Amino acid sequence: MPDPLLYVQATASAAVAAAAIVVVLLWLRRSPTVAWLNAACGIAVAAGLLVGLRVEDLHVAVPPSSGLDRLLLVVLPATLLIEGIAALPAVANRFAWGLRIGLILLTPRILLHGSVYVSDPESWTAWQAAISFGVCWAMLASCWGLMFALGSRRPGISIPLSLGLAIGSAAATVMMAGYLKGGEAAMPMVAALLGTATVVWVMAGRRRGASGEAPSGVPPVLIAVGVIGLFGVLFIGHFFGRVSGGRAVAICLAPLLCWVTEIAPLKHQRPWIVGAIRLCLVAVPLVITLTLAKRDFDRDLAPLGVMEREKKIGPMAWGPFLLEGGWFFANPAERAVDRSPRA
């Protein structure tokens, strides 16, 4: 059955590992360049995620065989590589955004590779595919571009924190919607992201004598990993789980509410006030979405899980989650009989 203690251990291990690595890498250079800071943060997040997945004992197939595997082994590493290249002084901004746009266009197709959505053209019409891909591209591009712009215009730790809140909410929603493994993988991702962001903020504040939000800005790699991770978790939860399209969109776009603090009455407030307002604004749709997801889970899935457990159906039934013969699958990425493709 799901072990809350194991999840706590995994998230703590991911946060500690990421924080320790970024501390070491930043102390190696007293005045790190943008490229060095981006590289340090990218390495720390990747290491923290690996440690968390290891503690959870979450198997990732090599070569990747599911959408979650491709998110962890293809999409996220590509994001780290692109941001590492983009931070180099010799790389033009247009070229960097060309790489990012390329990843945005490829990500949905990569995550759907090998699934019924692309292997069976008769079950997913061309217009359904066009609408789905168009919505995904627009949502991913707008979230990435706007969060990046906000991080450059009015930086602060509230930006990665808001992304972390959204990913955590996405993880809980995906788990309650039937994709246990997808939610488990997101937990160390949140911990690694927030552990790295916290260390960068603290060290920047000490070096520059700042208070409130760090004046050095948000490393672009943290925004990129946060946005791609958030989108990827919701994407697999929607197409391979039972997360509704409306809830996926609401969670994915929730961090954009940070932009509300740019209106005249708020933009001139103290940094810590601005950060607190951002987090409160982002939390509102996330709490509503989680409440609705929990309501649906309690109404539709939890009673079924209890009934199956009492009857002792299947060799691996535990709690409300059934690995075989029930609603909940540890890795439902390739199942085609459970539900038809959706737009």
Give the pLDDT score at 212. 42
Q: What confidence tens digit (pLDDT) does each residue in 115-150 have? A: 888 877 777 888 888 999 999 999 999 999 999 999
* Structure letter (DSSP) for residue 212: S
- DSSP E strands, the chain: 317-318, 321-322
Indicate the residue type of 269.
Q
Give the pLDDT score at 302. 57
Cβ-based neighbours of 122, under 8 Å, separated by 6 or more: none
Q: Say how far apart CA 25 and CA 30 lie, in whole Å.
A: 10
Cβ-based neighbours of 312, under 8 Å, separated by 6 or more: none
Give the 3-state DSSP-derived string for 103-148, with helices as H, strands as E and coil as C: HHHHHHHHHHCCCHHHHCHHHCCHHHHHHHHHHHHHHHHHHHHHHH
Give the pLDDT score at 251. 96
Give the pLDDT score at 156. 84
Give the pLDDT score at 313. 45
* Structure letter (DSSP) for residue 62: S
- Average pLDDT across each block of 10 residues of the chain; the chain has 343 residues. List them in order: 81 96 87 85 95 92 91 96 91 92 96 86 82 94 94 87 96 90 92 94 67 58 96 94 92 95 86 92 96 88 52 43 35 38 45
